[in-house]
Chains A and B, each alone.
Chain A
Amino acid sequence: MNTRKDLLLEWASERGFGSWAQFREAYAWLERESEMAPWETASLVARQMSALGHIEVDWRRRSWAAAPPVLTLLPSAGAHALLTGGRTRELCDRLAMALADRDDLYGLDPVEQPLAPSAILIACEDERAMRKLASALGIESAYSVSSQLAEILPPLRAYLDLAGSTPAPRGYGVQALDLADLSWRDVEEDREPGLYRYQAPDGRRFRLVEATGSVFDVDLAIGAFAALAIAGETGRLKWFRASLNGELQVPLRTPLPTLHARALALCSGFAPERHGRSLVYLNVPEKVARAVAGSLAQDLQVVG
């Protein structure tokens, strides 16, 4: 493993936690000689790493922490276990040693990803082999984290009920989300129903305005899906039936809430692929796709 994203995860894991500024600086330093697209930002990579269960980010307090390492089986994926969570070099060393000693487990070459650390997968004879390995390493294991998460996703309304209505930052610029193409447009006023994005020194802020005039202090993911739901736009998630499971397509410009993204990303162990204006999550069981869509007040569009 030697991609820059791998090094980023190793650093995050060895360090354990830190401020968002530290993460951003580490990312900028690692990518200082890279040719990057404008959307290849530290926050995008942090969201990918968070979706894959490697780190957690507290965007409000602008801090992050590496997550505990966990071995989990991917659903309907030929008994492949995924190593998620923090990945210290000591853990990787011990994993390599443990795999060398066993014939019921086979460590695959790490699979590189452009916007996330390499996926570390282990072919297992069965679930027991995975659990024994986790136990030997001193880390946690779970049969299928994606299914576990899918079953406990709260409904969108529950998130809105939490959102306060503090004043939005002013003076730096405000844009409104155009639901037709999910793009942001400069506006002079922010009173019409919809989702607004405000620039601010410590990061963008979002406010959802309902037709009643109620204002919710939300994040982009909750705000965008709530805005879609308010506008009756409930067909934005598409599930393409494939051999065993399927592929879930979500609009590129409406990132999913962290737990929803994680439930989907941990179906394959891979960050979602960018296909045109969509992000595609691989190997998503229909049950998980329906749970994610239902939680976001979307009607899952089943294709095929």
Chain B
Amino acid sequence: MSATTLSSDDWGRLLAGHFFRPEYAGIYVLFYVDRPLLGQIASCGEDEAVKSLVAAIVPQLRRRDPDDLFRPLLSQTVSWKLSGGDGPPPCLAALALAVLAASEMRSEGGRAQSNYHAWFRDLIAIEVPDVDAESLWHAYAGVYPALWGNLEWWLEQRHEGKLGRSTIAEDERNTKYGFADSQTIFLSSDREKLSRFFSWIRLRPGEKIAEEELLQYFAIWAGRRDDLSPGARLMLAEEQLEQVQLGRLIAEAAARWEGVARDDEGRLEARVCLTLTRPPSSRLGLAAEWPPGFPQRLEVDYRGERFSLEAEDEEGQLAADEHRWYGELPLPVDRGLLATGLRIEAEGRVLRLSPASVYVFHMSRELGCWAGVDQIRPGEDAWVLVAKEQLAQVRELLERRARPGWSPIERTGVAPPGWTLFREVVVDPVEVSEGEELGRLVPRRSNRFMLSGGLPLARAAGLYLTGGDPDVLLPPLPGDQSAIAVELDGETIELAPGIGAISLAALAPAEGNHAIRVGGVRKSYATVRTLRNISPPSELAVGHELRLGEGGSLWPASLDATSAVEAREDGVRIRGSLVELGPGVPFEDDATPLILPRGPRRRVLISDRPGGIEEVEVPEEPRWMGRAGLACQSFEYTPGIPARWLLVESRLGGTWVRQIERDRVSVDGLGHEESEEDRRRWAELVLACGSECVEPRERKAWERLRAEAEAIL
């Protein structure tokens, strides 16, 4: 079919076939029409295609009534809708013309509403040279918003988003051309790159981020790329209004994102990662992700080699950071593959391993081996595969940044020639950049403004212990800026050049609520000095349990501490230093040694029974206490008699007697028979101490002892 003979319905089918397809199910679609695209889908030159489109529309217009020029289009569309909305909307070609005017205007950099008016009139004038500008605009305003509404209905209601979802948005100020303009913010290639932007900010599917925050990150991300369309850049640089529109579009796309990347042509892309399987037979391999939109079995024809990849359909919901995988790719990992990466097209989809000179591996629970990651994770054990040309820089970086303990693998046969494998690499978070090539070895949690670390309390989100205020992770600077404005509670924080993180704890903010603003994004947190509990909250009782076994011995219930440990009648529960014996456990030893002072010249223990006396010598001072800076002023002593009284002679000559708490003293040597000599010494000692040596409340008992002593002597 020649472009010159295309009818409005033909154009509708071509346009719908290009923009609204089952593979875009659930994805926001921009109906972006420009000259190259028209030429592409009509298989002719751009100018010819534009002329064809206008020529196809004009016969449907009510030329005799310029103020109602587009009314027939609306009538046809309403009829189409009432009859069920089968096939593309009959107004699709006319809507394409409206978007074409907006894209022509945008490509020229004109932004005013009157300009759009002129661009649209010029297109109609190709076939209707005498069209009156004012009438045209009146006619446009009376019909086009309703036409856009019908396209939105068709996508969202009639097809329930299964051919793609609507991004049609009315611009509050530019109501007449805003619908068309909303489709020209991005080229379709810009849209495809959003998935990479979401990956860059580590957006998790389902995660909610405010529009204005997303827009800020997008501006930073876009500033680091040179492959976005001029329109997208213009939107970022220009009016606030367009930023709102862009923010809404990105937010909507973010809300729908399932974590799947797309290539520049909009094809779904799955990540291929290097794997490292360790003993037995340590070796490198390849594994491909099985993201949504990929078949369970994927037939691959790669450089003449045919194989199929199959994924196990495991049940259960994946966590946000979990992935499903195909089986191993039957391709050798050699130096060529490492240097150039891998790109496999299969069944309209793409499998991709990006080339790198530094590959980082972490343990993957999903793959059951070490798996390549985009960036090293802080504090986690990693292996690193390094190309020869980066070896010196990586060694130098590891010496500076990695914890000691890493080493190169000496054994040959694991890393391909020209590559070196490092083991046990652990790098703590550092908020500095290391350049593109080594960037993978610098742990960075995110490219967003985040509150990170600190000492968070469980009671409420965003609540921290004072002194444990979180750090502020700053996003990378936009390309054209040398600093970013940061405020804590309204006060500007001065930042050193190149700084990537701020320690709020070092600023020691007072207990209470705090607000931190980075650029235009605000986050808040609160600190509390104490939750006013004497004992820690005990919702989770972790501890040890011993159970009474045969013969009265105690046996462990687990190898080590376990959660939710219970107190049992026939067992012992241990939580820290709290040993809780069940009533059924025959274990009791409340008796304890005496604690006696080191300072006095003499200490004598006296029992109530005549003859029971024991001189106590001071033991050697424990040396470890001195080393620990502790003074040793008393000592423990287990008496050999049932001691009831302690007699002390101080170095200054005074003597005092104190009663000993009877039931809690352990005794070593019960059953000792006192001699007559013992009884005489006991009586002399008791009588030597008058009542004045004893506390008033203990004098009566002491006097009874003295009476007994008198009787003996």
Contact = CB atoms under 8 A, between A and B. Distances in A.
A binds B: yes
Interface of A: 7, 10-18, 22, 24-26, 28-30, 32, 36-38, 50, 53-61, 63-70, 72, 75-80, 84-86, 88-91, 93-94, 108, 111, 119, 121, 123-128, 137-140, 142-145, 148-149, 151-152, 154, 158-159, 162-163, 169-174, 186-189, 199-202, 218-219, 221-222, 242-245, 247, 257-259, 262, 266, 268, 270, 282-283
B636 interface: yes
Nearest to B543: A56
A65 B535 CA distance: 12
B635 interface: yes
Nearest to B365: A201
A172 to B, nearest CB: 5
B538 interface: yes
Given A65-B538, A162-B559, A282-B624, A14 B531 contact: yes
A199 B621 contact: no
B560 A65 contact: no
Interface stretch (B347-355, B550-558, B601-609, B674-682): B550-558
Contact of A15 (B458, B467, B560): B458
A218 B381 contact: no
17 contacts: A11-B465, A12-B536, A14-B531, A15-B537, A32-B428, A58-B561, A63-B542, A70-B578, A78-B598, A78-B631, A78-B635, A85-B535, A90-B533, A152-B554, A221-B560, A268-B624, A270-B628
Interface of B: 277-281, 362-365, 367-370, 378-379, 381, 403-405, 426, 428-429, 453-458, 465, 467-468, 471, 529-544, 546, 553-563, 572, 574-579, 587, 592, 595, 598, 619-625, 628-636, 661, 664
Contacts of A11: 455, 457, 465, 468
B544 A202 contact: no
Contact of B535 (A88, A189, A202): A88
Contact of B619 (A53, A169, A173, A244): A244
Given A85-B578, A127-B592, A127-B595, A25 B535 contact: no
B577 A162 contact: no
B634 A79 contact: yes
A127 B553 CA distance: 29
Given A29-B471, A145-B577, A188 B595 contact: no
B630 A88 contact: no
Ranked nearest first, the 9 interchain pairs of A and B with the lowest CB-CB distance are: A67-B576, A16-B537, A29-B453, A66-B536, A53-B577, A86-B536, A89-B530, A17-B540, A78-B632
A65 B541 contact: yes
A154 B535 contact: no
A257 B624 contact: no
B592 A143 contact: yes
Contacts of A29: 453-455, 468, 471
B530 A14 contact: yes
A78 B593 CA distance: 12
B465 A14 contact: yes
B510 to A, nearest CB: 15
Secondary structure of the A side of the interface?
Answer: mixed
Contact of B278 (A53, A58, A158, A171): A171
Contacts of B630: 77-78, 80, 108, 111, 121
B577 A154 contact: no
Given A282-B624, A283-B624, A159 B579 contact: no
Given A60-B562, A94-B534, A127-B592, A77 B625 contact: yes
A168 B556 CA distance: 23
A16 B532 CA distance: 12
A36 B577 CA distance: 29
Given A60-B562, A84-B576, A201-B365, 20 more contacts: A13-B536, A16-B533, A16-B539, A17-B537, A17-B540, A28-B453, A63-B563, A67-B576, A67-B577, A68-B575, A70-B577, A78-B632, A79-B636, A80-B630, A123-B631, A152-B554, A163-B559, A172-B369, A242-B622, A244-B620
Contacts of B562: 58, 60-61
B622 A245 contact: yes
Contact of A54 (B576, B592, B621, B632): B576
B455 to A, nearest CB: 4
Contact of A17 (B404, B471, B542, B557): B542
A268 B534 CA distance: 24
B378 A28 contact: yes
Contacts of B426: 38
Contact of B577 (A24, A88, A142): A142
Nearest to B501: A32
Contact of A159 (B368, B559, B631, B634): B559
Contact of B625 (A30, A69, A78, A262): A78
Contacts of B553: 154
A258 to B, nearest CB: 6
A201 B362 CA distance: 8
Given A57-B561, A90-B533, A108-B630, A243 B622 contact: yes
A242 B280 contact: no
A258 B278 contact: no
B540 A126 contact: no
A201 B363 contact: yes
A54 B278 CA distance: 38
Given A11-B455, A57-B561, A172-B369, A65 B628 contact: no
Contacts of A266: 577
A243 B624 CA distance: 9
Contacts of A171: 277-278, 367-370
Nearest to A174: B279
A188 B439 CA distance: 33
A192 B683 CA distance: 74
A227 to B, nearest CB: 15
A111 B630 CA distance: 9
Contacts of A50: 561
B595 A72 contact: no
Contacts of B622: 76-78, 242-245, 283
Nearest to B424: A38
B577 A86 contact: no
B578 A67 contact: yes
Contacts of B578: 67-68, 70, 85, 140, 142
Contacts of A63: 540, 542, 563
A84 B577 contact: yes
Contacts of B559: 60, 159, 162-163, 218-219, 222
A219 B636 CA distance: 37
A67 B577 CA distance: 8
Nearest to A49: B576
A248 to B, nearest CB: 12
A14 B365 CA distance: 33
B579 A149 contact: yes
A79 to B, nearest CB: 4
B625 A59 contact: no
Given A17-B540, A79-B636, A90 B534 contact: yes
A14 B467 CA distance: 13
B467 A149 contact: no
